[in-house]
Amino acid sequence: MFQLVEGRTYFTLGGRLRMRPTEATYWDGSYVSLWRNSERGREAFFDARVVTPDSHIAWVQSKPPNDLVWMAELNNARTVGMAGIIVDVAARTGEAGRFFIDNARRGQGLGLELHELVLAFGFGVLRLNSMWLDVRKGNLSGIKCCQRAGWREVGVDLEGHVHPGGPVVHMQITEAEWRSVMSAWDRPGAALEIDAYWQSDGELVARRMITSDLARHIVPGDVLEVGCGSGLIYEALRDAGLLEGRVYRGCDPSREMLKIARRRYPGVEFSTMDSWQEPTANVLSIHVLQHLADYRPALSELLRAAQKLLYIVSWFTDEPDSIQYDEATGFYNNFLNRKLFEEALGFSEGMMMTWRQLDGPKWSLAVRV
């Protein structure tokens, strides 16, 4: 969303950071010089030339209109970083880059917020189809930050993406990926709103129904919940005694949901999605798959992670798949055809599937592998 502050237009998602187009001023030029001439800046931007405040001013005055550069500010107007997109207007793609957070402000989640702003601008405002960026292989914080924001690694030193200074990782993200992974759950206020809904009586009863169904399938061994949200399934499992003698781990792509879960149940492991591949006896996916643009890639990952039991709850139908995307909230609310779902799971020897209708379109599927 846009915000007008003292005559300047900012783009913000309601978090700590807001961004505005960089200006032909000594102020912006000084920051850009400070960052671009630093060792990290020269490395990260693949460019060792000296930038002066005046060369910045000259560049802004003559830059091509598709080369967008923003300064990132805290809400108290302190300038803390920069980022940009070079838009390929005809191809509807953009190269994101020039990500920089001031040295003194690193490690506080601002880099991630800046990525989220840039992605929201690229997909939400410019309506690009996809974006890409290159990052040095040795730039661990740069890579981690990209991964956390939803960028996908495509390869190293791909044609047209090489640099004499060392190996380069090429990353991409499509609009569908951005929408399904990040935007909806981490939209300002969304996590709290959804968590409040999940605490309603009806949802509590629904969780009890799930735990009593799961009690008939759960096998000895630990539990991994993929898409743990704010931790309410964890609570239901614990209260039903299903976690006695087991270690529970939850993971979720939403930072905001994880924040709530960690605050609510300190000491329980709630982590981001990069850490979920570890094989576990019981893998749970509860009301997750219906909210993905395409459940198939996630399903094969879940199957890979499940050593003995994969337990899924979702919205199913015997009609054809019904894909429903809500523009206003950014959520997919899909109804999945059961037969196609079984086909996507694939059959392997020893696999056993048990369907159970819990309530209306809510079904559970227990897969013994």
d(CA 356, CA 79): 55
Phi, psi of 252 (to 5 degrees): -160, 145
CA dihedral 139, 145, 147, 150 (to 10 degrees): -140
Q: What share of the chain is helix, strand, coil (3-state, %, to 5)?
A: 35, 30, 35
Q: Does 109 bind ligand COA (CB under 6 A)?
A: yes
Q: Which stretch binds ligand COA (CB under 6 A): 100-108, 258-266, 290-298, 326-334?
A: 100-108
Question: CA-CA distances (angstroms) from residue 1 to 12, 98, 298?
Answer: 6, 22, 31
Stretch that binds ligand COA, among 142-150, 179-187, 308-316, 344-352 (CB under 6 A): 142-150
Cβ–Cβ contacts within 10 Å for residue 132, how many? 18
Which of 52, 67, 86, 106 touches ligand COA by CB under 6 A?
106
CB of 146 to ligand COA, least distance (A): 6
Q: Examine residue 154 and tell whether it contacts ligand COA (CB under 6 A).
A: no
- Binding region for ligand COA (CB under 6 A) out of 14-22, 93-101, 150-158, 180-188: 93-101
Distance between CA atoms of residues 82 and 73, nearest Å? 9
Whichever of 63 and 144 has its CB closer to ligand COA, that residue is: 144
Span from 137-145, 193-201, 299-307, 339-347 in contact with ligand COA (CB under 6 A): 137-145
Q: Which stretch binds ligand COA (CB under 6 A): 15-23, 124-132, 139-147, 329-337?
A: 139-147
Give the distance between the most distant pair of CA atoms in the chain. Answer: 71
Q: Which has the closest alpha carbon to 49: 36, 66, 65, 64? A: 36
Minimum distance between the CB of residue 13 and ligand COA, rounded to whole angstroms? 14
Of 29, 84, 142, 330, the one binding ligand COA by CB under 6 A: 142
Is 163 one of the binding residues for ligand COA (CB under 6 A)? no
Query: CA 72, CA 183: separation in Å to the nearest integer?
Result: 19
CA 117 – CA 145 distance, rounded (Å): 13
Task: For Cα atoms 158, 159, 164, give the angle at the middle one, nearest 5 degrees.
Answer: 80
* Residue with the two structure tokens 């206020």: 189
Which is nearer to ligand COA, 107 or 360 (by Cβ)?
107
Closest separation between CB of residue 274 and ligand COA, Å? 7
Using CB under 6 A as the binding rule, whether residue 8 contacts ligand COA is answered as no
By CB under 6 A, tell whether 37 contacts ligand COA. no
Is the distance from CB of 35 to CB of 41 less than 8 angstroms?
Answer: yes
Is residue 79 within the footprint of ligand COA (CB under 6 A)?
Answer: no
| 102: Cβ contacts below 8 Å, ≥ 6 apart | 31, 35, 79, 80, 81
Nearer to ligand COA, 99 or 295 (CB): 99
Size of the site for ligand COA (CB under 6 A): 22
Quick one: which segment of 108-116, 210-218, 341-349, 361-369 binds ligand COA (CB under 6 A)? Answer: 108-116
Angstrom distance (rounded) from CA 311 to CA 302: 10
Q: How far apart are the first and last CA of the chain?
A: 46
* Residue number, 246 or 259, with CB nearest to ligand COA: 259
Instruction: Kindly tell me which of 39 and 319 has the beta carbon lying closer to ligand COA.
Output: 39
Please say which residue, 132 or 311, places its beta carbon nearer to ligand COA.
132
Residue 54 Cβ vs ligand COA, minimum distance, rounded to whole Å: 23
CA atoms within 13 A on the CB side of 56: 23
Residues interacting with ligand COA, by CB under 6 A?
Answer: 40, 44, 99-101, 106-112, 133, 135, 139-142, 144-145, 148, 272
